[in-house]
Structure 1
Amino acid sequence: MNKIAIMTDSNSGITQKEAERLGIRVLPMPFFINDELFYEDITLTQEEFYQRLAEDADISTSQPSPADVMELWEELLEEYDEVIHIPMSSGLSSSCETAIMLAKEFDGRVHVVDNQRISVTQRQSVMDAIAMRDKGMSADEIVDVLMREKLEASIYITVDTLKYLKKGGRITPAAAAIGTVLNLKPVLQIQGEKLDAFAKVRGIKAAKKTMLDAMEKDIRERFAGSQVNLAAAYTCTEEEAGVWKREIEERFPGYELEMDKLSLSVSCHIGPGAIAITCSRKIEI
């Protein structure tokens, strides 16, 4: 039986420390802050990122260099027979397509999974891959399952400020100004490929209700007859995150709720103070 390495990128929210505990590798995503290069969870912590965001620094995301990706694969292939690499969705970054192209140089030993997920749902794909590998499934079998299930996930997010959506060109300056005056909170969704508008409501209370209602509908209709992994994510304070967690648990009793910080690549576009709820269909292994 081939020895399989599992690898992802820091968009999954899996830290270097946690990766070590899980026995996987995490490729750190690069960020440019005022034209200086940083690597997530290596030379850039969550705290430092939000501090620079608050200072209105010029922050932009980038994709890992081909050399960094291939070097990590080569290192893993010295110990393992095959590598399964689970990067962020190709709909949100070109890094996945680049990795697919690079993998052609490795004679079928590197499998890049474009399962179109990000943050907590991407993390779940990694955990599923680990479980399938440990059960004895082959790399091809694991990839087939992850690709089959790739769109069986939902993420709903609301933001605290429209500033970063305006900065990223997702809303116009005029819409941001009106929205701020009227206390409008956009609810965004990620259903596979990209970040889309879902609803626009007044106030955080209405935004939370909209997200909870949407998730309940998904569980009841879209995932009818299936069990789901329920999770929450945030860029807000730990105290606000705790309140959000309790609200989800009250709405969905009986679920084991995972709670995690949103990855910096998402945070860069939505800013601090955001909260999210996610689910993905449980894979029967």
Structure 2
Amino acid sequence: MIKITTDSTCDLPYHLLEQYDVSVIPLGIVKGDRLYQDGINIHTEDIAAHVDAGGDITTTNAVNIADYEDLFRTMTARYDAVIHLNLGMGFSSCYQNAKLAAEEVPEVYVVDSANLTVGHGILVLAAAEAAAAGKTVSEILAMLEDMVSRVETSFVLDRLDYMKKGGRCSSVTALGANLLKLHPCVEVIDGKMSVTKKYRGSMEKVLAEYVRDRLAGRTDIDTKRVFLVDTCRTPGLVDVARKALLADGRFEEIVESQAGCTIFCHCGPDTLGLVYLRKK
């Protein structure tokens, strides 16, 4: 049997992780002078309360080599092989650490998702489905290699103060965006984040426009499944995006998921994104 493992940044809903017996190793979250484990002893509401009270932005820590090695040794004692899917190497050293750990443990295969949140998770789910269907290691790795470049991940931010506190944008940029009610659309391209568009207005208006923009006139989208991932605290925002997806009507399945602490640290509340595959 093949075991699928992954980082907490995959942001897949718990019921899917449980259904396919996917083991998740948490990234570290640093709040104040204490190290927490993503989704274990710290959650997004804890980070939001800390920042709202004037606290410094929380930061993230990659999983270390020793923890990966412990995970891999535990799983290879019970399974024929382990395939571990990492948060993209452009965002963290998790992939490099997992690769070094895998050198010490036979039959462990590490895959760079080149993505984040459910852009990473969509690959985890595909690997887990393939493993459950009895595919071999080589078949699953070939499938993932084909899929990585076809994952389309984008999201819209409501506010930039988390990005500013984390050093990912300037104070002037954040202030200007807030004054003008600008909401950047960020897309993962070639393993890196890029701002591809800026929306203006209320988040309700922006999210409806964003979903339409991502899908309008597209004939290259694999319509089997779309992920709707968010950090929304404002009531109704997810409903707006869901309604726009349902109005489009092309997707066989809409999977909704909440982004975890690692993503929340950088994006803050009321961020929402879409993830799907492009056709071959």
Query: Under a length normalisation based on structure 1, what TM-score does the superposition of the two structures give?
Result: 0.88
Aligned counterparts, 1:1-150, within 5 A: 3-14=1-12, 19-58=17-56, 59-107=58-106, 109-150=107-148
Match of 1:255 in 2: 252
Hey, what's the Cα distance between the residues in 1 that align with 2:22 and 2:67? 16
Question: What amino acid does structure 2 have at the position aligned with 1:79?
Answer: R
State the SS of the aligned residue for 2:91: coil
Residues 1:201 and 1:273: Cα distance change in structure 2 (over 3 Å): same
Question: What amino acid does structure 2 have at the position aligned with 1:260?
Answer: S
Question: What amino acid does structure 2 have at the position aligned with 1:248?
Answer: L
1:267 matched to 2:264? The reply is yes
Match of 1:162 in 2: 160
- Structure 1 position 130, deviation (Å): 1.5
Gaps of 5+ in 1: none
Query: 8 Å contact 1:9–1:28 — kept in the other structure?
Result: yes
Query: 8 Å contact 1:156–1:277 — kept in the other structure?
Result: yes
Query: 8 Å contact 1:219–1:228 — kept in the other structure?
Result: no
Residues 1:205 and 1:21: Cα distance change in structure 2 (over 3 Å): closer
Query: 8 Å contact 2:208–2:241 — kept in the other structure?
Result: no
Query: Under a length normalisation based on structure 2, what TM-score does the superposition of the two structures give?
Result: 0.90
Residues 1:46 and 1:129: Cα distance change in structure 2 (over 3 Å): same
Match of 2:230 in 1: 234
- Structure 1 position 118, deviation (Å): 1.7
State the SS of the aligned residue for 1:155: strand
Hey, what's the Cα distance between the residues in 1 that align with 2:86 and 2:249? 30
Hey, what's the Cα distance between the residues in 1 that align with 2:21 and 2:161? 39
Hey, what's the Cα distance between the residues in 2 that align with 1:218 and 1:168? 36
State the SS of the aligned residue for 1:250: helix
Question: What amino acid does structure 2 have at the position aligned with 1:163?
Answer: D
Residues 1:100 and 1:230: Cα distance change in structure 2 (over 3 Å): same
How many residues are paired up?
Answer: 277
Identify which range, 152-161 or 8-17, moves more after superposition.
8-17
Match of 1:278 in 2: 275
Match of 1:216 in 2: 215
Question: What amino acid does structure 1 have at the position aligned with 2:6?
Answer: T
- Structure 1 position 254, deviation (Å): 4.9
Question: What amino acid does structure 2 have at the position aligned with 1:179?
Answer: A
Q: CA offsets, 1:111-166, max 9 Å, x none?
A: 00112122112222111112211222111221121012102111221111121122
Hey, what's the Cα distance between the residues in 2 that align with 1:81 and 1:42? 28
Identify which range, 46-55 or 195-204, moves more after superposition.
46-55
Question: What amino acid does structure 2 have at the position aligned with 1:60?
Answer: T
Question: What amino acid does structure 2 have at the position aligned with 1:243?
Answer: V
Query: 8 Å contact 2:5–2:83 — kept in the other structure?
Result: yes
- Structure 1 position 15, deviation (Å): 6.2
Identify which range, 264-273 or 239-248, moves more after superposition.
239-248
Hey, what's the Cα distance between the residues in 2 that align with 1:15 and 1:251? 23
